Chains A and B, each alone.
Chain A
Amino acid sequence: MSSPSTSEKIKMLKDIVGPENVVDSKPALLIYARDASPMSGKVPIAVVRPGSTEEVQRIVEWANETKTPLYPRSGGTSLWGAVPLVEGSVVVDLAKMNRLVRIEERNLTCVVEPSITFGELEALLAKRGFRIIMSPENGMGATVGGNFASHGTGWGAGPNFSNQGDCVVGCKVVLPTGEVLTTGTMANPNAHGHFYRYAFGNDLTGLFCGSEGTLGIITELALKIEEMPGALGFTTFGYDSLEAVGEAIYRVRRLRIPTIYAYISTGWTLDMLFPEKAPWQHTIKFVVEASTKEILDIEMRRLMEAAGKEGNYLGPQMAEETWRERYRWVGLFGYKLGMRAALPIHVPIGEVGPYLKKVEEMAREIKDKYGLRVGAGGFACDRSCVIIVVVYFDPSNKRETELALRAWHEIKGKLFDAGACPYRMGALWADHMPKLGAYYDLLKRLKKVLDPNNIMAPGIMGL
């Protein structure tokens, strides 16, 4: 049988989900070839919008029959090139699957569809006195499904949690061949809901955490929820050297001080962002949570001692303001100076200082070589610290955009060679995957077994 034409494919898709849930006109498709990174993807032939796991299942079955590549999309806010990479693809827009399905109060979990944003979920849970544990810097626009599928971390990362995956106890996935898999306790249809991730042998939830759509389409996630914290404390310290910043972060983590936010701003970046107040010290803004005010007082004293050893106490206000605006703060660091080519990486919690020094050197080199400004900040996870390197550029200037992309890839290569670990992958890191040797080989073999027709997000992560 010859493969169907594009128009035949679109007709088939419309039969599956209804014509109102398929678009194929060029203007409508343009945004689906882009994410929040500077990378542009291939414009898909259509976008399909399922409303249920069953519809996703039928779309995936159709894609296998017609050998059509699928790119799942929820928030479309990725910074690492989560865009269609091959011609003739269909984007699966999960926008309608954005519900809080249920709260399993006795399990202290909730079940959500992938496209619910963190902001939406927080607001819904707060009405019942609950919260989720972790949310990304762009909690306004980013979705829970997208963050899990890309190994997200963010606010809430502390001594016990470093990754969205740490807060997920199970998921429902439509596999690349169309079967529906539920992981964690709910693999047992008689289970009392989602309450334990590591049930029944291998951690299959982990297989999909960070898989970025290459191994299936996540249609439900079960997240840990907990009561609102009893008390929050805020403080900021300034440091004269990046080494002192690194030591403060390490001490705070080693002492298990319960920070949910330890946000580094490098002095040179603050000088660029707020020149009217330059010169700036490097700063770390801390938010600490505790179950009671009394415990908070104890933890804040410990923090003052640990972070203040080489730091200059700057009061609670900056940290409190940043926390209050935690979902919008990216508007300053990320975009005040232009569009950003952002490169987030994980570095060891005890090596933050040396890595920041390297980034500082690179920022100078990029400035000299390309005339572009490079900023850097970061935040502590449990055993790692995320450093976000940002190349600022004017996207309306083609030449500058080309230079920014070049600088972005140069910094990426240097940091990888220095031992940093990519935080999120997309198309951005695809060229580095072969360097992982056996690890990459196994990923490819897994992909081949689960997705024999290679329909799921081909090219992402080099798969």
Chain B
Amino acid sequence: MVILEKYVKQIYRCARCGWCRTPTFADHGINKVCPVYEYHPKGPWEFFTARGRLAIAQGLLEGEIDVTKDLVEIIYSCTTCGACHEVCVIHFPVVMGVSKTDELDQVRVFEAMRAEVFKRRPDMLLEPHRRIAERVATQRNPYGEPHDQRFEWLSDTYRLAKQGETVYFVGCTSAYRHPEIARSTIRVLSKAGLVPAIIDEWCCGSTLLRTGQWDYVEELAKHNLEELKKAGARKVVVSCAGCYRTLKLDYPEILGSKWDFEILHATELMWELIEEGRLKIAKSLNQKVTYHDPCHLGRHAGVYDPPRDIIKSIPGVEFVELTPTRQYAMCCGGGGGVKSGFNELALRIGIAAVKRAEGIGAKILLSACPFCKRNLVEAIEACKAGIEFYDITEVLAKLV
């Protein structure tokens, strides 16, 4: 029990106040929080909420429970979106500015629970997650696509260098599943006169970190570090919110001071370019538009404004906020290994997100993450919603 013991203070810090269950405080735009509690096909059970999971963590620490199939199903049916952290009573002193220290980081604890379970019973790992690890090990991406085809999406229009101060870290989902996001990113940056370099990137390891399979991530991180060094990179631009969180928050923990790059999400860099006047939005978009905060970008890394600033700067756009939004925004359902492990749950959460967007009259739902795109586009198709989804970069690519 080595892994969880590091988190013992946090695990026992839970006050069991119930705010992670069904908190509503209309004055603050807080309504539903835990997507799994709300939309799990089995309905609302307390063990799906943070306080239920932390009770399980206590049970594991105290030897009260063993690793069973039921336990694995519970702890892996969490999108690790972190909304429970934002409303947590223990986090409130930080919200009020009277404390600087977060004494309970639910996402870290839940990931550690998975790592603990995997360590004790690797045979109990969910099959889709085991396959992801296998594919990353052999093909350097969780989809099992050939590594040598990672940049097939790159048309001949753009000749990207292998060296440069600014490197575009494409990410597995943009490279293999949503290359339109990658192409749009290159197009937009090129319009601003900034042609990034690319490297022989490997999966950042996010999917492994989220599913408790930590061992192999260091090797991935080291490879990416070496490649970035070889390229002479100073800035790393990513499209994927999952890559962003991993490169910005997890790699420094894994690699220490060796990891010394400025990590930028594409929306951060693009907003910078718009503000500097290097990127002009030439066309208008006369539509009612809303924005879905990717959990890894917003809650985990605090990037809320650049995507909104970009959207608001598009001529003709009528921007409407979802409720809840920003730090209280609800997850798309795709993260934390839920999409691969429990697709029905992921889709139910995604459909709820789409319906919230439809409910406020939006015609276009924007986000800034290929992984959110995967789930939300599927959700739109599943519920035949009258709304379109785009990554912000795709929209920008059409307007610049």
> Taking CB as reference atom, which chain B residue is nearest A30?
B55
A62-75 CB mask vs B (1 if < 8 Å, else 0) is 00000000000001
**Contact present for B17 and A141 (CB under 8 Å):** yes
**Contact present for B55 and A96 (CB under 8 Å):** no
* Contact residues on A (Cβ < 8 Å of other chain), bracket: 35 or more
B1-39 CB mask vs A (1 if < 8 Å, else 0) is 000000011011101111101111111001100000000
Known: A28-B74, A122-B26, A140-B18. A336 touches B65 (CB 8 A): no
A11-26 CB mask vs B (1 if < 8 Å, else 0) is 0000000001101011
CB-CB < 8 A to A139: which residues of B?
Answer: 25
B43 at the binding interface (Cβ < 8 Å): yes
> Taking CB as reference atom, which chain B residue is nearest A91?
B46
CB-CB < 8 A to A324: which residues of B?
Answer: 27
In the assembly, what is the distance between CA of A26 and CA of B49, in Å? 16
Interface residues of A in 6-47 (CB under 8 A from B): 20-21, 23, 25-28, 30-32, 34-36, 47
In the assembly, what is the distance between CA of A30 and CA of B61, in Å? 13
CB contact between A26 and one of B18, B42, B51, B65 (< 8 Å): that residue = B65
**Contact present for A27 and B23 (CB under 8 Å):** no
CB-CB < 8 A to A142: which residues of B?
Answer: 18
Cβ of A352 to closest chain B Cβ, rounded Å: 26
In the assembly, what is the distance between CA of A75 and CA of B21, in Å? 9
A101-140 CB mask vs B (1 if < 8 Å, else 0) is 0000000000000000101101100100000000000111
CB-CB < 8 A to B11: which residues of A?
Answer: 396
A-B pair count, CB < 8 Å, reads 151
| Interface-located stretch among B84-92, B244-252, B285-293 | B84-92
**Contact present for B70 and A28 (CB under 8 Å):** yes
**Contact present for A93 and B47 (CB under 8 Å):** no
> Taking CB as reference atom, which chain B residue is nearest A331?
B92
CB contact between B23 and one of A49, A95, A141, A395 (< 8 Å): that residue = A141
CB contact between A30 and one of B43, B56, B96 (< 8 Å): that residue = B56
CB-CB < 8 A to A30: which residues of B?
Answer: 47, 52, 55-56, 58-59, 64-65
> Taking CB as reference atom, which chain A residue is nearest B22?
A117
In the assembly, what is the distance between CA of A47 and CA of B47, in Å? 11
A339 at the binding interface (Cβ < 8 Å): yes
A153 at the binding interface (Cβ < 8 Å): no
CB-CB < 8 A to B43: which residues of A?
Answer: 20-21, 49, 96
> Taking CB as reference atom, which chain B residue is nearest A273?
B98
In the assembly, what is the distance between CA of A142 and CA of B89, in Å? 13
In the assembly, what is the distance between CA of A324 and CA of B95, in Å? 13
Which has the most chain A C-beta neighbours within 10 Å: B15, B58, B93?
Answer: B15
CB-CB < 8 A to B51: which residues of A?
Answer: 31
A98 at the binding interface (Cβ < 8 Å): yes
CB-CB < 8 A to B47: which residues of A?
Answer: 23, 27-28, 30-31
In the assembly, what is the distance between CA of A324 and CA of B12, in Å? 29
**Contact present for A35 and B16 (CB under 8 Å):** yes
Cβ of A24 to closest chain B Cβ, rounded Å: 9
In the assembly, what is the distance between CA of A330 and CA of B19, in Å? 12
B341 at the binding interface (Cβ < 8 Å): no
In the assembly, what is the distance between CA of A20 and CA of B40, in Å? 11
In the assembly, what is the distance between CA of A270 and CA of B267, in Å? 43
A327 at the binding interface (Cβ < 8 Å): yes
**Contact present for A336 and B25 (CB under 8 Å):** no
CB contact between A332 and one of B44, B46, B93 (< 8 Å): that residue = B93
CB-CB < 8 A to B87: which residues of A?
Answer: 140
Sample 15 A-B pairs with CB under 8 A, ordered by A number.
A27-B71, A30-B55, A30-B59, A30-B64, A31-B56, A76-B21, A93-B46, A119-B30, A122-B26, A123-B31, A138-B17, A331-B92, A332-B93, A335-B90, A336-B98
9 nearest CB pairs, A to B: A331-B92, A141-B18, A119-B24, A25-B70, A396-B12, A123-B26, A31-B52, A31-B55, A395-B12
Binding site for B on A (CB under 8 A): 20-21, 23, 25-28, 30-32, 34-36, 47, 49, 75-77, 93, 95-96, 98, 117, 119-120, 122-123, 126, 138-142, 273-274, 324-325, 327-328, 330-332, 334-336, 339-340, 394-396
Further 7 A-B residue pairs, CB within 8 A, beyond A31-B51, A141-B18:
A25-B68, A27-B56, A30-B55, A140-B19, A327-B25, A336-B98, A339-B13
